[in-house]
Structure 1
Amino acid sequence: MLKRVFYSLLVLVGLLLLTVLGLDRWMSWKTAPYIYDELQDLPYRQVGVVLGTAKYYRKGVINQYYRYRIQGALNAYNSGKVNYLLLSGDNALQSYNEPMTMRKDLIAAGVDPADIVLDYAGFRTLDSIVRTRKVFDTNDFIIITQRFHCERALFIALHMGIQAQCYAVPSPKNMLTVRLREFGARFSALADLYIFKREPRTAFFRPAGKTRTAFFRPAGTYPHAASGAE
């Protein structure tokens, strides 16, 4: 009897693992055409959305995921691939402010403050992607993050009918723990989209009277734009 229960549990765990792995590969396959590893191949879009993460680990060591995203945002901006940088991250605590931290570092690196817009309610990837359209009226933009994160963010965008592309910046070499966590994050994202049908946090929306032009100038009026852009 105990053997039968053990083997049944073993089969169940095996099926669960195969399901998780299959869904993971499906997400990667579906989003692959919209991901660009090389800056020169990246199409022009007016807005680049930088997905937030902590700048430092608990021991005060710089987070390489953060460093690569900031450098990727600078590269996209300085090359004229994007005109504006929408910095979306967590600001749930007064002492923790991802968008403002990114803003300070980007301005220090030479980005015009007028070309930076902050989204303080990017608590989850779902929030960041959907709010870019619903709050900032931008339906066609470049996401800037690591490839594994690109895949999840783009999957959400495609499901929501958002026309996003992604600039995949480098990942640190030792990312096994992060990659394992990503399996859970993808499963959670699928549950949010197909089972719970969750929407972004509604407590943080655009101030009354704000329109798209209050955040981003119309395309073609910005001197930073790339010539012959798509």
Structure 2
Amino acid sequence: MKKLKLLVLLIAIIVSGLILTNYWISYTASGRVYDTIAKIPKNKVGLLLGTSKYLTSGGINLYYTYRINAAVALYKADKIEFILISGDNSTKHYDEPSTFKDDLIAAGIPEEKIVLDYAGFRTLDSVVRAKAVFGQDAITIISQQFHNERAIYLAKNHDINAIAFNAQDVSGRYGLKVQLREYLARAKASMDLLFNVEPKFLGEKIEIK
């Protein structure tokens, strides 16, 4: 019985920690996330956070589609001048930035206005590299709101003046699974900051002009 009580207490502490961390990250981002094009301030660079174009089932990932739509809308409204695509290119068979680039060009974005970051393996890497490698102290992050809030939290703790534009979210069972995973992702983000975790790669600076 004593072990069971300790287990229940431990679970309660973990769950409480996840809930508090989730709340704090959302609170940190309040006032810096935007749902409408008209209200969002202009920045030189929009940081488009990568994801896979396809689901494991073979269907199109709506998170991907909606992020493309959001980036195009920002650019065409003259709210950003360049789109920095940051995603995973860990193997020659998986290249998020190039896939995004092809679809952005197909949607009317000039190729010279697109910059690729192939080392955005995690949100931490994407955010930190936007400043450390690409020289941006102020950025507009483009993803879904839950992801944007975490990215802004990371940016704020790395002295980056970040705002974000919320791409359309995904509903249904798949969307719920992603939202639940976000609790763990936010806890991991907080631990990364606590232990000063750095991006996997930095490298030479790349000027966006």
TM-score bracket for this pair, using the shorter chain length: over 0.9
Deviation for aligned residue 1:93:
0.8
Equivalent in the alignment of 2:178 = 178
Q: Compute the TM-score of the two structures, normalised by the length of structure 1.
A: 0.88
Q: Does 1:199 align with 2:198?
A: yes
Of all paired residues, the percent bearing the same amino acid is 40
Deviation for aligned residue 1:181:
0.6
SS in 2 for 1:201: coil
CA distance in 2 between counterparts of 1:4 and 1:211 reads 58
The 5 A counterparts of 1:40-59 are: 40-59=38-57
Asked which structure has the greater CA Rg, the reply is 1
Gaps of 5+ in 2: none
Equivalent in the alignment of 1:79 = 77
Aligned amino acid, residue 98 of structure 1: E
CA distance in 2 between counterparts of 1:74 and 1:211 reads 23
Question: What is the root-mean-square deviation in Å for CA atoms of aligned residues?
Answer: 1.0
Q: Compute the TM-score of the two structures, normalised by the length of structure 2.
A: 0.96
CA distance in 2 between counterparts of 1:199 and 1:18 reads 27
Deviation for aligned residue 1:172:
0.9
Equivalent in the alignment of 1:32 = 30
Deviation for aligned residue 1:170:
1.1
Aligned amino acid, residue 199 of structure 1: E
Deviation for aligned residue 1:70:
0.3
SS in 1 for 2:84: strand
CA deviation profile, 1:161-208 (whole Å, cap 9, x unmatched)? 1101000111111211101111111111111111x2111123x523xx
CA distance in 2 between counterparts of 1:184 and 1:205 reads 29
Deviation for aligned residue 1:33:
1.3
Match 1:160 to one of 155, 158, 166: 158
Gaps of 5+ in 1: 217-230
- The 3 A distance-change label for structure 1 pair 109 and 10 is same
Match 1:135 to one of 130, 133, 143: 133
Structure 1: 4+ residue segments shifted above 3 A: none
Count of residues paired in the alignment: 207
SS in 1 for 2:43: coil
Equivalent in the alignment of 1:111 = 109
